[in-house]
Structure 1
């Protein structure tokens, strides 16, 4: 690494002057002079960055092992974990979806509306399955509030697929249906199949992603307006991407609490450690892979906003197991890479071939990493020497059945829900008004600039002329 880093500055007077500084990583940063402006061209040797990551994994595999919490230390309280998850729902997810340059009002505000409404509905739906008899009461506590937040996250994930293409009433109807189905699916998988998914990668991420994609598929079918009516607002800006990164950082910081919130004792301790390491690995992998897939070796903001979080999704199903610290890191690296590959290669193919539009790329962050997590949940029981109630191979089979059940329920119910919310009574957003706040919000700057009145008929039917 002696010649790893070179800093070369080219000036208008002498373009051959250069100065070497202390090397750090095998990364070359060159400042070139072009068009009377200095600009930076970053040439990253991502292969060497990847080798550095593997070096860290090797060190951790040799020198680190799990230990339980100290005997004199109290476990993390449910209230603390609940507050972390609450921050993820209303700040993390909300700001993550503000990347659209003309849809920031709707993204963060509809997230607040949906979250506030669905936590109430989620308490009821989850509580119905906890009642032992019709005369029983739903017990309300921190655990039930935490469960309601998690149920709301399922819908907010689905919202990412249809962001900018629905009215708020369509979103609310979709949320009512989805939370009820989420609770039913979780009851089937946990209580009947006895599947294990502490981080809810299957129950939340698989279900939410493919439910939302199914709804998006139906919404975009049989429309009279064509792609020529698109307004060009499905793009980001420097400021909107910066706001979206606020959501990324909140989610990245609090994700260990999400995966460990439903656990206790040593299992909770391991879940927090595993998620902490896995999400760190996915963050590094996101930058490595983003630089590799770009021909100019520059980073894409969409990759960083999403792929950095993929490790938290991918480790969720096995977060409470003794997968070892290096195993958690490897899962994170694989998930971060998978997410970037999804954004760069798979999402365009899905749109062109299957005609499924995915505004936020939820298949890349939630869908594929969650399926990866579920596969790990199938494989890990086969490697275990013993199981609490079943033979390892039998538990692996039931984990697979839970994955298939969740996936099929999400697809079928998502398609049905798409047809339901397409009814004219719930409103309709024409293509020429998609991804635009001014249709449903009073946007003073835009209205004054264009000298127009805000469109207040947000619940217009597909046959309207707006």
Structure 2
């Protein structure tokens, strides 16, 4: 049997049709995007026949998003000026009028902004003149009233004789003993504070640059202010003066974080000149008059700086409207801020450890590290719990770790015990993270406080918790417990009064100066009074300073200047222009950094290429 196989007739192939363009005038060829548009004849004003070209010759007057491009009707053509016109004969006069208007806009487009006009060499801005004037006054005051301390004066007899003949031993000079502490504190105030504030996408220059300016100004001004509260004829400067100045610089850096992006450099300079004397007086009140123990500065440095800055920001006007882009942070800026936070956490004990010695300093190093480790561990789960999507936040982790380090500074040299240091760091970290995520936004909305860097929580709240921990430690301290008679070294006001049998008994085997004879309960009450005093002084002085910053001569920021470097800093062209002057079309890269027309056109090509990629690959 013969079986005949018949081949099924296949349907005829579909007729080849021209590929419908993705957008009117846009064709995909391989990996490149070609834009077809019309050019006007320079003489007759008539359009040339459509031709394929890479870029239009004139800058666009406005931008169209990819969505607007997709909504254009097929009868429209892309002209290369950011517009869509209808090539119909009856509308040719209207098109010619629009072309003339676009040419005028193009001429305006090429004109430089008003702030970029070149100035003569002798021209000084208000900020520049004020900075030079202040530095000149510092030089005059240092010339008239500042002298070297005897340990740094080459003409002093102790430095002109051999130690056998009564001279000073070079190994006992504090310049050599405290050299590393001074370097570490400079790292904190110059690198740590500045990098920690550089998390805003468009405000990084001001964060780092203005921080350097304020630190340099604070160190000089703090040395003079400490001399003002003494009765000496001259200010004798030594390495201790520089260390105290660095402590004040930390407080000023905390205040700067509260006004980040809402105050001009001139306003921040004036605020620093007002804050340093108030901080010096507050530090003198807490340590010498109330005689509360605040070795690490949790109250007089961190809490004072945070509350002073937040109060000044509220009086200045609080957070005004700004674009979401300016308030956002990129991965790079967040990593830089995280590095700055870690620098501050690692070197923060150097801010105050030079004030202790022996077993007190040894114990302080142990307690500080244990509290920081516990704060770092608890910060991650606390951030996840506070986040609605149960994710980690880099800002939350920085807030928690910094809060634990600030809180333990007040009680680091006390008999906190290892478990107590861990508990204090963990509890402070969790409270700071949850407060920053849940409570702080509500308070900022109702009180109108900006607090851009969140220092009110990481330094203000954490400093207050450290002060409360000091109250508890003072209430439990006695010479019969875990301290012994060394309690009089940690809490000097609790030492017996002068010319008493108790002091004579203690001095017979342990050298301590005479104190106030306070009980543990009395010392705890004074610790609590110090917290309230710092809170009241910082709020009142901060509000008054913020009201003073409203003066029109201080270059108040406008809405366009908020959280932006463009008004006071020279920004690279690629970042300052509204459209990036570097994009890639197909496999080739075109750069026109000096031509705004090409920059805006490249931006449009990038939008079209992104739309084409989304249509080809899908969601």
**TM-score greater than 0.5 by the shorter chain:** yes
SS where residue 197 of structure 1 aligns?
coil
Q: CA deviation digits over 1:2-46, x for unaligned, max 9? A: xxxxxxxxxxxxxxxxxxxxxxxxxxxxxxxxxxxxxxxxxxxxx
TM superposition shift of 1:305 = 2.2
Q: Counterparts of 2:239 and 2:465 in 1: how far apart (Å)? A: 30
SS where residue 236 of structure 2 aligns?
coil
Matched, 1:262 2:359: no
In structure 1, stretches of 5+ residues that fail to align are: 1-74, 454-466
Q: Counterparts of 1:203 and 1:143 in 2: how far apart (Å)? A: 18
Q: 1:438 — aligned with what?
A: 566
TM superposition shift of 1:134 = 4.3
SS where residue 286 of structure 1 aligns?
helix
Q: Counterparts of 1:355 and 1:293 in 2: how far apart (Å)? A: 23
In 2, are the aligned partners of 1:231 and 1:432 still within 8 Å (CA)?
no
Moved over 6 A (4+): none
Q: CA deviation digits over 1:79-124, x for unaligned, max 9? A: 2122111111111110001110111111011101110111000111
Q: Counterparts of 2:421 and 2:313 in 1: how far apart (Å)? A: 33
Q: 2:519 — aligned with what?
A: 391
Equivalent in 415, 423, 426 of residue 322 of structure 1: 415
Matched, 1:86 2:186: yes
Q: Counterparts of 1:193 and 1:210 in 2: how far apart (Å)? A: 20
In 1, are the aligned partners of 2:403 and 2:429 still within 8 Å (CA)?
yes
Q: Counterparts of 2:544 and 2:208 in 1: how far apart (Å)? A: 27
TM superposition shift of 1:375 = 0.7
Q: Counterparts of 1:198 and 1:79 in 2: how far apart (Å)? A: 20
Q: 1:416 — aligned with what?
A: 544
Q: How is 1:17-416 mapped onto 2 (pairs within 5 angstroms)? A: 77-129=177-229, 131=230, 133-135=231-233, 137-220=234-317, 227=321, 230=323, 232-386=325-479, 387-388=494-495, 389=515, 390-416=518-544
In 1, are the aligned partners of 2:349 and 2:409 still within 8 Å (CA)?
no
In 1, are the aligned partners of 2:402 and 2:459 still within 8 Å (CA)?
no
TM superposition shift of 1:432 = 2.5
Larger Rg: 2
In 2, are the aligned partners of 1:126 and 1:148 still within 8 Å (CA)?
no
Q: CA deviation digits over 1:157-210, x for unaligned, max 9? A: 011111011111100110011010000011111111111100000000111010
Q: CA deviation digits over 1:289-346, x for unaligned, max 9? A: 1122223322101112221121111111111101111111111101111110121012
Q: Counterparts of 2:232 and 2:389 in 1: how far apart (Å)? A: 63
Q: CA deviation digits over 1:231-279, x for unaligned, max 9? A: 6411111111111111012112212222423222222222222111111
SS where residue 309 of structure 1 aligns?
helix
Q: CA deviation digits over 1:362-413, x for unaligned, max 9? A: 1110011110011111111111123333211111111111111111000000
TM superposition shift of 1:355 = 1.5
Q: Counterparts of 2:280 and 2:241 in 1: how far apart (Å)? A: 12
Q: Counterparts of 1:152 and 1:254 in 2: how far apart (Å)? A: 14
Q: Which has the higher contact order (CA 8 A, sep 6+)?
A: 1
SS where residue 318 of structure 1 aligns?
coil
TM superposition shift of 1:78 = 2.0
In 2, are the aligned partners of 1:95 and 1:107 still within 8 Å (CA)?
yes
Change (3 A) 1:100 1:432: same
Q: Counterparts of 2:364 and 2:177 in 1: how far apart (Å)? A: 15
Q: Counterparts of 1:282 and 1:300 in 2: how far apart (Å)? A: 15
Q: Counterparts of 1:325 and 1:255 in 2: how far apart (Å)? A: 19
In 2, are the aligned partners of 1:100 and 1:233 still within 8 Å (CA)?
yes
- Which has the larger displacement, 320-329 or 252-261? 252-261
TM-score (norm 1): 0.76
Q: Counterparts of 1:144 and 1:328 in 2: how far apart (Å)? A: 31
Q: Counterparts of 2:376 and 2:348 in 1: how far apart (Å)? A: 13
Change (3 A) 1:249 1:400: same
Q: Counterparts of 2:415 and 2:368 in 1: how far apart (Å)? A: 12
In 2, are the aligned partners of 1:259 and 1:275 still within 8 Å (CA)?
no
SS where residue 139 of structure 1 aligns?
strand
TM superposition shift of 1:448 = 4.5
Q: Counterparts of 1:79 and 1:161 in 2: how far apart (Å)? A: 31
Q: Counterparts of 1:291 and 1:164 in 2: how far apart (Å)? A: 28
Q: Counterparts of 1:99 and 1:214 in 2: how far apart (Å)? A: 22
TM superposition shift of 1:230 = 4.3
Matched residue count: 372
In 1, are the aligned partners of 2:386 and 2:438 still within 8 Å (CA)?
no
Q: Counterparts of 1:169 and 1:294 in 2: how far apart (Å)? A: 38
In 1, are the aligned partners of 2:246 and 2:351 still within 8 Å (CA)?
no
SS where residue 460 of structure 2 aligns?
helix
Q: CA deviation digits over 1:112-169, x for unaligned, max 9? A: 111011100011112333x3x342x222112111110110111110111110111111
In 2, are the aligned partners of 1:282 and 1:311 still within 8 Å (CA)?
yes
Q: 1:26 — aligned with what?
A: none
TM-score (norm 2): 0.58
Q: Counterparts of 2:560 and 2:187 in 1: how far apart (Å)? A: 34
SS where residue 188 of structure 1 aligns?
helix
TM superposition shift of 1:427 = 1.1
